[in-house]
Structure 1
Amino acid sequence: MMRISILDQSPIAEQETAIHAFQKTVQLAQFADEENFHRFWVSEHHNFKELAGSAPEAIIPYLLAKTNRIRIGSGGVMLQHYPAFKVAEVFNVLASLEPNRVDLGIGKAPGGTNKSTEALQGTGSDGEAFESKLADLLHFLRHTEEEAELVARPFTEQPADVFLLGGSSKSAELAAIHGITYVFASFINSNLNDLRTAFEVYNQSFQGSQNQKPQFIVAVGIIVADTDEEARALNKYPYSFKVHVDDGRTLNVTTYERAAAFGESTGKSYWVEKKESGVITGSIQTVEARLEELTNGLDIDELIVHVPIPQFEEKRQTLYQLKQLSLFQQVSNV
């Protein structure tokens, strides 16, 4: 049996503002806390007018103060934009304020457009390689002042748990080499073969300490309604668009217009791949069958559920119905 957790992007509904979006995020976190979900994560997106969540490091402490038990974290901090030392300092502060409740999910993607990346990093910056930044971050989180001259203070014996987010076997291998938990974003890459390959690579390559075991989590988009038709109607973005830039950059977005705008902003050649959204939609019976197919043959510890709709009651109902499935019933989430 698996744990069940939540990823929220603080979507802004039509004729509402970021204030309303964050109020709903707080309500959802409190619901998750009361209903014994395992963790609650918030995302990082830049320059997307329909998403309010641009700074998880600012939202997390507020959610920690508004909840009692549930783990709160980032899904994730886009590390390419920030110095690893500063990220370590911020999350050491959070972990010191709320020991054993803070998660640090790390993402490699830009989380936004080319213009937002330039604004965050500076137009003249080539940027440090992600792999190097990740290694630096783990160094700052794991080493004491007896072991290192430079310490991300406040030093804590119980730093935030670290997760790497991705959707490929390459990122799964990177997480395994560093001995950290891997989260496969199935709602972005819904290819089951890619998921299974990433799972095998991660477990075969895992290099954790003796008391560590490999932990592979799947993040999945789900919308549940009374019927399959009603669930599909709630899915505002049935397709996803992946921009492939000649320099190797990629970005997943919800409309072709946004994909083309990103491609044009790079000043390089690009092409756009259109595919069906990876969000599982349907009645609870349909969704349960799809989840069984998704997890069949995989030793998965946990599902992190993303419900990509702004309607609060429908989102909460999706999560409540999922929580009742036998797949999640026999696990203590405390």
Structure 2
Amino acid sequence: MYALSLLDKSPVPPGESAVSALSNTVNLAKRAEELGYRRFWVAEHHGGAELASSAPEVLVSWILAHTSRIRVGSGGVMLQHYSPYKVAEVFNVLSSLAPGRVDLGIGKTPGGLPRATAALQAYRSAKPDFEAQFSELTTFLDNAVAGEPDEALAFSGPKPPVTADRFLLGASPDSARLAAAHGWNFVFAGHLNGDPENLRLSLDTFRKESGGRSAILALAAYASENAAHAAAQISELKVFKVFLDNGQSVSLGRREQAEEFARQAGAREYRIEERKPSVLHGTPENIHEELSRLSGLHGIEEFILEPPAVGTDERLASVELLARKPLSAAA
């Protein structure tokens, strides 16, 4: 059997504001707790008006204050923008406020448009080396809880009674290998990269190099009592992948965003492909059949599901429908 968790990006509903989007996220987290979901994560995105969650650590603290049992975390903090020491401090504070309920998820991508990335990294003299940052973060987190902290390191306190669970988000065998090497959990971003062979290789790599541990699989999923209705809702969703002349490629939610990304990146030439996002959809039974298949095939013990931006009420209804079966089986 498998457990279910949720990831929310705080989409801003048409004609509404970030205030509404963040309120919807908090309400969704409270309902997820009532339904028995294992954890609730919030994302980090910069430089766009379509998503309101640009500071996950702030949103995590607010959700922790408005819930009492569910684990809450980042999915994830985009480490390349920040000091590993500061990230360790922030999550040690959160873990001291809500011991045993905090997850620290780390992402590798910029999570935004080029100008936002440049502004976030304005203090840096060179492009950060992610693996070096990740290693430093691990050291600071370990040092804060060690019985005898390394005196050569700054203390990234406070010392929480229970530390945050650690997760590296990625979509490749290299990411799986990095997570295993530092003793972190691994979350495969299947909602961003649905290639079956890459999924298999990444999960197998993590299991082999972590001593048999199971990775978590993140997927986008939308459920309706009516399969045709679910298909119709998903058919409206689009992804626009922009390919720049420097070899970089990024997927964005609107064509205008893709064009703006190319402009901000200074690309002289680029092309945009319109694609359909990878979203599991259908009745709750349809979706759980596929989750069961993936669980059996890859040994997945937990899925993190992202409800797509199909409307606030529709997203909530999907979360409620999907909770019916698995949470009695996987609680």
Q: Aligned residues, how many?
A: 326
1:162 correspondence with 2:166: yes
Task: Kindly state the Cα deviation for residue 130 of structure 1 after the two structures are TM-superposed.
Answer: 0.6
CA contact (8 A) 1:176 1:214 kept: no
1:45 is paired with a residue whose SS is coil
Counterpart of 1:253, as a letter, is L
Task: Kindly state the Cα deviation for residue 215 of structure 1 after the two structures are TM-superposed.
Answer: 3.4
Distance 1:247 1:295, change over 3 A: farther
Summarize the alignment of residues 178-197 of structure 1 with structure 2, pairs less than 5 Å apart.
178-197=182-201
CA distance, structure 1, for counterparts of residue 274 and residue 179 of structure 2: 28
Distance 1:247 1:329, change over 3 A: farther
Counterpart of 1:9, as a letter, is K
- Kindly provide the CA deviation profile for residues 251-298 of structure 1, in whole angstroms up to 9, marking residues without a partner as x: 321233322321332224655455431111222233233333433411
Counterpart of 2:203, as a letter, is F
CA contact (8 A) 2:149 2:155 kept: no
2:88 is paired with a residue whose SS is helix
Distance 1:197 1:13, change over 3 A: same
CA distance, structure 1, for counterparts of residue 208 and residue 125 of structure 2: 36
Task: Kindly state the Cα deviation for residue 161 of structure 1 after the two structures are TM-superposed.
Answer: 0.9
CA contact (8 A) 2:240 2:253 kept: yes
Counterpart of 1:292, as a letter, is S
CA contact (8 A) 2:169 2:186 kept: yes
**Residue 209 of structure 2 aligns with which residue?**
205
Counterpart of 1:45, as a letter, is H
Counterpart of 2:98, as a letter, is E
CA distance, structure 1, for counterparts of residue 292 and residue 258 of structure 2: 32
**Residue 2 of structure 1 aligns with which residue?**
2
Distance 1:148 1:220, change over 3 A: farther
Counterpart of 1:203, as a letter, is R
**Residue 241 of structure 2 aligns with which residue?**
242
Counterpart of 1:257, as a letter, is E
- Give the stretch that moved more between structures: 71-80 or 284-293: 284-293
**Residue 258 of structure 2 aligns with which residue?**
259
CA contact (8 A) 2:241 2:250 kept: yes
CA distance, structure 1, for counterparts of residue 136 and residue 273 of structure 2: 34
CA distance, structure 2, for counterparts of residue 154 and residue 84 of structure 1: 15
The alignment's TM-score, normalised by the length of structure 1, stands at 0.90
**Residue 177 of structure 2 aligns with which residue?**
173
CA contact (8 A) 2:37 2:327 kept: no
Distance 1:119 1:316, change over 3 A: same
CA contact (8 A) 2:242 2:249 kept: yes
**Residue 146 of structure 1 aligns with which residue?**
149
- Give the stretch that moved more between structures: 7-16 or 138-147: 138-147
Counterpart of 1:185, as a letter, is A
- Give the stretch that moved more between structures: 145-154 or 263-272: 263-272
Task: Kindly state the Cα deviation for residue 245 of structure 1 after the two structures are TM-superposed.
Answer: 4.4
CA distance, structure 1, for counterparts of residue 172 and residue 270 of structure 2: 21
Task: Kindly state the Cα deviation for residue 119 of structure 1 after the two structures are TM-superposed.
Answer: 1.1
CA distance, structure 1, for counterparts of residue 232 and residue 151 of structure 2: 55
Counterpart of 1:197, as a letter, is L
Task: Kindly state the Cα deviation for residue 312 of structure 1 after the two structures are TM-superposed.
Answer: 2.7
Counterpart of 1:37, as a letter, is Y
CA contact (8 A) 1:75 1:105 kept: yes
CA distance, structure 1, for counterparts of residue 34 and residue 111 of structure 2: 30
2:75 is paired with a residue whose SS is strand
**Residue 210 of structure 1 aligns with which residue?**
none
**Residue 113 of structure 1 aligns with which residue?**
113
2:308 is paired with a residue whose SS is coil
The alignment's TM-score, normalised by the length of structure 2, stands at 0.91
CA contact (8 A) 1:179 1:214 kept: no
CA contact (8 A) 1:243 1:251 kept: yes
Unaligned runs of 5+ in 1: 208-212
Counterpart of 2:60, as a letter, is I
Summarize the alignment of residues 215-230 of structure 1 with structure 2, pairs less than 5 Å apart.
215-230=214-229
- Give the stretch that moved more between structures: 141-150 or 101-110: 141-150
**Residue 22 of structure 2 aligns with which residue?**
22
**Residue 71 of structure 1 aligns with which residue?**
71
Distance 1:171 1:28, change over 3 A: same
Distance 1:241 1:168, change over 3 A: farther
2:304 is paired with a residue whose SS is strand
Distance 1:123 1:266, change over 3 A: farther
Task: Kindly state the Cα deviation for residue 315 of structure 1 after the two structures are TM-superposed.
Answer: 1.4
CA distance, structure 2, for counterparts of residue 148 and residue 245 of structure 1: 47
**Residue 85 of structure 1 aligns with which residue?**
85
**Residue 320 of structure 1 aligns with which residue?**
320
CA contact (8 A) 2:141 2:156 kept: yes
- Give the stretch that moved more between structures: 139-148 or 159-168: 139-148
- Kindly provide the CA deviation profile for residues 293-331 of structure 1, in whole angstroms up to 9, marking residues without a partner as x: 433411112001100125232212211221223x55322
